[in-house]
């Protein structure tokens, strides 16, 4: 299963709390989606047989447009699930994080510490977001064939807590997982064969916050080893 965060939006660039406000990808974000989709398509190309890949997406346009970049390369349909949305941030949505820190210093500090029952701007708690994320993911996995891969196009904060809950981390350790950068992804795999449903599976994190890598280093010519031929 691949958790894939959407590309950049203008609110990401301005460090505004987006939440469930439906902000589209900006030009940079669209380019990020195209490039990371090409990388993921290459990763998925080795999977055998029809139906081995399934794409599910949040219904917010920034995630769905990111999913479309991959669907256009793989030919897979996209299933939309509103449970994969970002945290509903109530009165914080649209505010810059600096504004939230000035107006709601106690609340934002607890929320950033992943206090499970703190409501973001009066909206959702971390626990509620993790619960709906995992429910959507397990429903998606139950429909997958053996050896298949589910690609989940979603959001940074929702991915982090959903992934932490899926891996069985206690709530006080959810902060040990970093968030995802725009158009980066994390990969988990079933760690033990099981005849039980997906809700009873154990999961292993194999990649986290992976995206565009720098070009390999090459030594300058004057420092390179001399060639004898």
Q: Which secondary structure element, helix H or strand E, spans residue 138, and what is its range?
A: helix 126-142
Strands (E), 128-169: 149-154
Token pair in block for residue 126: 């971390």
Catalytic residue among 6, 93, 124, 155: 6
Q: Is 86 a catalytic residue?
A: yes
Angstrom distance (rounded) from CA 6 to CA 209:
12
Catalytic residue, from 27, 34, 86, 184: name it: 86
155 has catalytic annotation:
no
DSSP per-residue codes, 103-131: H-HHHHHHHHTT-TT--GGGS--HHHHHH
Which residues face 9 on adjacent strands? 25
User: From CA 32, how far away is CA 29, in angstroms rounded?
Assistant: 5
Alpha-carbon gap, residue 11 to 168, rounded angstroms: 32
CA distance 216 to 205: 25
DSSP bridge pairs for 186: 3
Residue-wise burial string across 182-221, b where 16 or more C-beta atoms lie within 10 A, e elsewhere: bbbbbbbeeeeeeeeebeebebebeebbbbeeeeeeeeee
Catalytic residues: 6, 86
């Amino acid at each position: 299963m691949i958790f894939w965060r959407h590309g950049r939006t203008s609110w990401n660039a301005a460090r505004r709390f987006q939440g469930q406000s439906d902000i589209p990808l900006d030009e940079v974000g669209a380019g990020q989606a195209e490039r990371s989709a090409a990388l993921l398509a290459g990763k998925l190309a080795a999977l055998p047989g029809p139906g081995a890949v399934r794409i599910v997406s949040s219904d917010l346009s920034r995630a769905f447009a990111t999913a479309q970049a991959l669907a256009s390369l793989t030919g897979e349909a996209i299933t939309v699930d509103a449970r994969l949305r970002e945290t509903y941030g109530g009165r914080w949505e649209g505010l810059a994080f600096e504004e939230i820190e000035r107006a709601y210093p106690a609340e934002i500090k607890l929320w950033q510490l992943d206090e499970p029952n703190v409501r973001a701007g009066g909206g959702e708690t971390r626990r509620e977001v993790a619960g709906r994320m995992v429910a959507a993911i397990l429903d998606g996995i139950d429909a997958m064939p053996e050896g298949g891969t589910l690609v989940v196009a979603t959001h940074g904060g929702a991915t982090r807590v959903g992934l932490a809950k899926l891996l069985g981390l206690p709530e006080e350790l959810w902060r040990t997982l970093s968030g995802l950068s725009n158009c980066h992804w994390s990969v988990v795999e079933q760690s033990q064969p099981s005849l039980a449903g997906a809700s009873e599976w154990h999961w292993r994190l194999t990649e986290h916050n992976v995206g565009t890598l720098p070009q390999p280093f090459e030594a300058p010519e004057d420092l390179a080893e001399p060639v004898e031929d």
